Chains A and B, each alone.
Chain A
Amino acid sequence: MPSLKDLKNRINSVKSTRKITKAMQMVAAAKLKRAQEAAAASRPYAQRMASVVANLAGSMGEGSTGPKLLSGTGSDQTHLVIVLTSERGLAGGFNTYVVKEARRLIAALTGEGKTVKIFTVGKKGREQLKREYSELFVGHLDLSNVKGNDYSDAGIGLGKEITGRFDDGEFDVATLVYSQFKNVLSQVPVSQQLIPAQAPEDAETIDLKGATYIYEPSQEEILETLLPRYINTQIISAMLESGAGEQAARMTAMDNATRNAGEMIDDLSMEYNRARQAQITKELIEIISGAEAL
């Protein structure tokens, strides 16, 4: 039976925990709003870019293969898995779900006898995957110095690194595993193939009404400048979605924590009041029986 003082201390400590989780929840809610706005602002560009790529790729003749970024190396032996997670924890199962999806993908690929290389973005994924797959790691990108929701530098940097490695022949296929932001309550981990570039299936293709495209300078040159940018855009929008998802997951997790702390405080207060009442009753009995004895 804990003493009254112990109970009082516990109640106070749970109360301060609740204050912290409440504050974290509110910070996450404010950040979520900004992250969602940033993600929404970047969406028109990403969509248009996708439909332009779909158009171009669709109009490539059967005979011409186009740049390697589009057609691939002709093999799919070596896979690069890029795992995009957050820098900070306390976001519920957010990172765990992404890592789980990455594990599933890695296991499936190794099961098929492919060579897998892992590139992590964000500290949490690296921590969770390092134990099992440390020998497969080829690189890591730190996002801790990204300010606000400006992922453009980090995204372009990562895009350059990935396409550079591809040009060096380090891998044949690159897949990005990240958390897709569906809504505040659900973030779905997905695997998206980056290289060879794929035009999204749902991109609107435009009916040219029988006319043929005119390209300046030429279709190949346009594709060559467009594809790396397309990959960068995909990376940046994945980063934005993941950022928004992280804040949403943290907000939900902290909301739950705040509620749990509240319940715990109620339980502890009940126990405290009972213990106090029991003590008073005990003291009264002692006094009365002392008076009767006289």
Chain B
Amino acid sequence: MAAKLHFSLVSPAKELFSGEVDHVIAPGTEGEFGVLANHAPFMTTLKNGIVRVLENDQTKMRLFVRGGFADVTPAGLTILAEEAVDLASVDSAQVNAELEEVRNKLSAEGKDGPHEATLKAQIDYLSDLRAALAH
């Protein structure tokens, strides 16, 4: 049995995952990358996408992250996500409803409203999340 990789994924709201796994695939800004145990020290920024946790070549868990950093050290992989959610716990109907709601809020506020940037970022996040779910 190969060595295990210590992987933890934290967002400002909570720690989503922490434990020993075989293999993690994460969406770096310059391309997707995989991390196994004893990876060289490596640091990158992340784009919106799916982090896959693999155990015995089987996908054990899929997490959607919005931006952030990945830090690989001899001690393991740490992902600091701006926002993250376990894909198994999201329901696509709910995401669609939320997306609709945020869009309505944006159009209700009109152009150049005080929350325009935040709402737009939320729309981006939700549509990426929806795409990830359909995947």
B-contact bits for A212-235, CB 8 A (1 contact / 0 none): 111111010110011001000100
Interface residues on A, range: 20 to 34
Q: In the complex the two chains form, what is the Cα distance from A213 to B28 in whole Å?
A: 16
Knowing A49-B80, A206-B74, say if A215 contacts B44 (CB, 8 Å). yes
Q: In the complex the two chains form, what is the Cα distance from A211 to B74 in whole Å?
A: 9
Main secondary structure, interface of A, reads helix
Is residue A186 contacting chain B, with contact meaning CB distance below 8 A? no
Interface positions, chain A 15-74, Cβ under 8 Å from B, are 41-42, 44-45, 48-49, 52, 55-56
- Whether B30 lies near A48 (C-beta < 8 A) is no
Chain A interfacial positions (CB closer than 8 Å to B):
41-42, 44-45, 48-49, 52, 55-56, 152-153, 206-209, 211-217, 219, 221-222, 225-226, 229, 233, 236
- 23 contacting pairs across A/B (C-beta < 8 A): A41-B13, A44-B8, A44-B10, A45-B11, A45-B12, A52-B43, A52-B78, A52-B80, A153-B118, A206-B74, A208-B41, A208-B73, A213-B42, A214-B42, A214-B43, A217-B29, A217-B45, A222-B43, A222-B44, A225-B45, A226-B69, A229-B82, A236-B12
Query: Among the listed A206, A211, A219, A222, which residue makes an inter-chain contact with B69, where contact means beta carbons less than 8 Å apart?
Result: A222
**Closest Cβ neighbor of B14 among chain A residues:** A41
A-contact bits for B16-52, CB 8 A (1 contact / 0 none): 0000000000001110000000001111110000000
| A residues less than 8 Å from B12 (CB atoms) | 42, 45, 152, 233, 236
Q: In the complex the two chains form, what is the Cα distance from A48 to B68 in whole Å?
A: 12
